Amino acid sequence: MRERNYLIHPLYILITLVLAGITALFLGFSAAYLYSRVQEGADAVRLPSLFYINTFILMASGGTLMLAKKAYKDDQTEKYQLMLLLSTILTIIFLVAQIIAWNQMRMMNLTLGSDNMTSYIYVISALHFLHVVAGIPFLMLFLYSAKVHMKEPVSVLVYFSDPEKKRKLDVLTIYWHYLDALWIYLVVFFLLNYLIN
């Protein structure tokens, strides 16, 4: 079946719109945080160290996904599957570590209802958490598909030559790198707010 030619494929338009919506959401929360802080004259909250460690975990997940994409282009079956698996594991580690980071905040008597600044940190980081969770099924679907359809030389050839799979992998990679960049922005945003107290 011949593939229809698009100037810009609908999948790329869709991911652009999704990322634009997410960007607007987080910029709105950032502005609301700054506004509340100025209005109340409140001190910013110091993030637990695990927030910073989580940055490297999430970046590593994005890095392994990029290596999976490269392995896909180079027709390297085992490396492709391994990098997808590592991306999934690192993402789950990030999520678990983030739950521990929230628990660290609670141990520091920084609970959801303790003050507005703390509540913003919980809400904003939880929103990012949910966006990572939303990406996991797609990551696992790629991993499952690779394990099922890449057993024989012919099926491997068909898998690697499928332009739709390549496109979907592109979109997933874009989404993952966006989540990396968004997390870095959030951590730097809260850190600068704390340093400029």
Mean pLDDT over residues 189-193, rounded? 93
53-70, pLDDT tens digit by residue? 999 999 999 999 999 999
DSSP assigned state of 155 = H
Number of other CB atoms surrounding residue 84 within 10 Å? 27
Share above pLDDT 90 across residues of the chain, in percent, rounded to a whole number: 61
pLDDT for the residue 191: 93
Give the pLDDT confidence of 139-156 residue by residue, as tens digits.
999 888 888 777 767 666
Distance of CA 162 to the CA centre of its chain: 25
AA letter at 117: M
| Closest among 24, 30, 23, 20 to 121, alpha carbons compared | 30
CA distance 163 to 49: 42
- Token pair 């160290």 is at which residue? 49
Residue 1 confidence (pLDDT) = 45
Asked if the model's pLDDT at residue 86 lies above 90, the reply is yes
Residue pointed to by tokens 């987080």: 26
Dihedral of alpha carbons 127, 130, 132, 134, sign: negative
Buried b (16+ CB within 10 A) or exposed e, 121-153: bbebbeebbebbeebeeebbebbeebeeebeee
Percentage of the chain beyond pLDDT 70 is: 92
Q: How confident is the model at residue 4 (pLDDT cuts 50, 70, 90)?
A: low
State how far the Cα of 133 lies from the Cα of 47, in Å rounded to an integer.
22
Name the residue with higher pLDDT: 20 or 164: 20
Domains in the chain: ranges and CATH: 10-195 (1.20.120.80)
**In angstroms, rounded to a whole number, what is the distance separating the alpha carbons of residues 33 and 151?**
51
Q: Is the pLDDT of residue 40 over 90?
A: no
Minimum mean pLDDT range among 13-27, 32-46, 171-185: 32-46
Q: With left for phi above 0 and alpha for psi between -120 and 50, is residue 75 left, alpha or beta? A: left
- Residue 85's contacts (CB-CB under 8 Å, 6 or more residues apart) are 143
Residue 31 reports pLDDT greater than 90: yes
H/E element, 144: helix 116-149
